[in-house]
Structure 1
Amino acid sequence: MENFNYHRPSKVADAVKLMKKAKDGKFLSGGHTLVPTMKQGLASPTDIIDLSGLKNAGVKVGAKSVVIQAGTTHAAVASDKALKKAIPGLAALAGGIGDPHVRHKGTIGGSIANNDPAADYPAACLGLGATIHTDRRKIPADKFFTGMFSTALKDDEVITAVEFPIPAKSGYAKFPNPASLYAMVGVYVAQGKDGSARVAVTGAGPGVFRQSDMEAALGKSFKADALAGISVKPRGLNSDLHGTAAYRAHLISVMAKRALAAAK
């Protein structure tokens, strides 16, 4: 690991100023991806801007939506009683991220800003039709995730909160890699109050994506039986030592049905 300048601002505006001044700055929020890559020499930022000093954490449940501040840990999301009632699928997803150490240090803002292609939160954001709030704008989840480890964020833009519409029902299921606990395939399903359906898949491809065929079927009947006959094509899906593209395509169907069974 190379030497770097460490900053811990207490205001978002100060964090943005520090990033603009840095030659090669990185925001730190949890650090479960950034710190390991620095240790391996894969990243050598000149400046680390630690966002934990912003004290931007908490869950607020309203009549139509839930707003989770960016600095809220996975453990806090998983244990929030009001969230468990409003969107139980989201709370359950947070409770299944990594191990206890990861859940008590990692944050929702850090997770979606990093946008690991096998992370859980991107599936929830896309599946629930969330809106990502930053220091300067609001970005729909459908436009936020742009590719592998890539988002619509500008280099000096800071996520401040994530807003999730409260669905009629939603659920999440994943097939975790036994070593990393990241999703080999994870599927989040949600039924809107208007009866529409959204299905988001993580882990299977180079980035999180929606499954339109399943959405159309579940928009008519939000039950596992509605997915009968839908065959997911393996083209474009990941194929590695953990599983072929065809295997992951099969898992998408299996996890979607399990997510429906878990939906509340």
Structure 2
Amino acid sequence: MKAAAFAYARATSVVNALELLAAHGDRAKVLSGGQSLMPTMNLRLISPDIVVDIGGLRELRGIAVKGDVLVIGALTRHADLLNSPEVAAHAPLLRDAVTHVAHPAIRNRGTIGGSLAHADPASELPACIVALDATIVVRGSGGERRIAATEFFKGIYETALSSQELLVAVEIPVAAEGSTFFFQEYARRHGDYAIVGLAAHAVVRDGMFADLRLGFFAVGDRPLLASAARTLVDVAITSAALAEAAVTLASELDPQEDQQASSAMRRHLAKVLLVRCVATLLSRPELATGVAR
């Protein structure tokens, strides 16, 4: 199939892009990398009257450390995240996750801002942003506002971004001393959408979690920051404690059933990932023995 007829406007600046969005409202869609938008339009799942292309706005590209914050421009491509020394040093979770995003051709075009604004619940980067306690910076005609990642994702393909706002950057606290990360997903083939995945950030001190953030994806209508993590902070981790956390996690999940997996299978795999994550982050492989059933 091909997209329905639409008008096209190439924004010359962020201000110009916002003017176009203000003029067309819900009838406009923003084009950055196009790796999600164009297939959706070609399938006629959406039919905007106008596409506003922001792909040439250099002001929205780049990665920089500013004080204790890693700032990533919205048009920074997946491939740039993979190769960035700043990301490797301060948010290696993103680097690890990007290797699972589709294939090189997609990663060379897709952008972090596009991925977050698209808000696919099976996507890797939204879960990473939640696990990293990031802030999403958006700009509209009234100025900028900052939205906590945990408040940005509202449902399947739904965010706190209004039709007249533009996602311009992501701000991530630089990794604290003792930080460690975990990323793993189950997919039928590498590069496919995940059946279940987990992006985690922890601070480990004296063999215990001083902080633990677990961002699950493909287990509901948005990335889930699991409350089960709280039961594992500042306590000695035993098999019993881990089993209790797995029960708590299962009660939080709301996985859908589809052609890839049943909801029961997704719940099971999420618990497996929880156990594997904790065992890996604490360097205690014995905890993974007798994985949750």
**Global fold match (TM > 0.5):** yes
Mark the CA change 1:219 to 1:173 in structure 2 (over 3 Å): closer, same or farther. Answer: farther
Write the distance in 2 (CA, Å) between the matches of 1:223 and 1:122. Answer: 30
Which AA in structure 1 matches 2:53?
A: D
1:42 aligns with 2:50: no
Structure 2: gaps (5+ residues): 283-293
Structure-1 residue corresponding to 2:109: 105
The one of 205, 225, 237 equivalent to 1:210 is 225
Asked whether the equivalents of residues 199 and 214 of structure 2 are also in contact (C-alpha less than 8 Å), the reply is yes
Deviation at 1:226, TM superposition (A): 5.5
- Cα distance, 1:215 vs. partner? 3.4
CA contact (8 A) 2:82 2:95 kept: yes
Task: Please report how far the alpha carbon of residue 192 of structure 1 lies from its aligned counterpart in structure 2 after TM superposition.
Answer: 4.6
Superposition map of 1:171-210 within 5 A? 171-178=182-189, 181-192=192-203, 195-210=210-225
Give the C-alpha shift of residue 97 in structure 1. 0.8
Q: Distance in 2 between matches of 1:29 and 1:225?
A: 47
Q: Distance in 2 between matches of 1:183 and 1:52?
A: 27
Match of 2:267 among 242, 246, 249: 249
Q: How high is the sequence identity, in percent, across the aligned residues?
A: 31
Q: 1:180 to 1:89 in 2, by over 3 A?
A: closer
Residues 105-254 of structure 1 aligned to structure 2 (within 5 Å): 105-135=109-139, 136-167=144-175, 168-178=179-189, 181-192=192-203, 195-220=210-235, 227-229=242-244, 230-231=246-247, 232-233=249-250, 236-254=254-272
Mapped to 1, the partners of 2:228 and 2:211 lie a distance apart of 13
| Number of equivalenced pairs | 264
Matches within 5 A, 1:12-23: 12-22=14-24
User: Which amino acid letter does the alignment assign opposite residue 89 of structure 1?
Assistant: L
Does 2:45 align with 1:27? no
Shift of 1:246: 1.2
C-alpha distance in 1 between matches for 2:8 and 2:185 = 36
> What amino acid is aligned across from residue 105 of structure 1 in structure 2?
R
Question: Residues 18 and 165 of structure 2 are in contact (CA less than 8 Å); yes or no, is this contact kept in structure 1?
Answer: yes
- The alpha-carbon distance between structure 1 residues 121 and 25, as it changes in their structure 2 partners (threshold 3 A), is same
Change (3 A) 1:144 1:221: farther
* CA 1:236–1:83: 2 relative to 1, 3 Å: closer
Aligned partners of 1:78 and 1:95 also within 8 Å = yes
Distance in 1 between the 2:70 and 2:278 partners? 21
Whether the aligned pair in 2 keeps the contact of 1:148 and 1:207 (CA below 8 Å) is yes
**Partners of 1:173 and 1:258 within 8 A in 2:** no
Structure 2 CA distance, aligned partners of 1:109 and 1:222? Answer: 37
Partner Cα distance (1:60, 1:223) in 2: 40
* Alpha-carbon separation, structure 1, partners of 2:73 and 2:237: 30
Give 3-state SS (helix, strand or coil) of 1:53's partner. coil
Alignment of 1:12-91 (within 5 A): 12-22=14-24, 24-55=27-58, 56-91=60-95
Deviations 1:49-96 (A, max 9, x none): 011121121111345221111000111101112221222222111222
Moved more, 84-93 or 217-226: 217-226
Q: SS state of the match for residue 105, structure 1?
A: coil
**Residue segments in structure 1 that go unaligned for 5+ positions in a row:** none
Cα 1:224–1:3, aligned 2, differ >3 Å: closer, same or farther? farther
Change (3 A) 1:263 1:69: farther
- Distance in 1 separating the partners of 2:72 and 2:149: 14
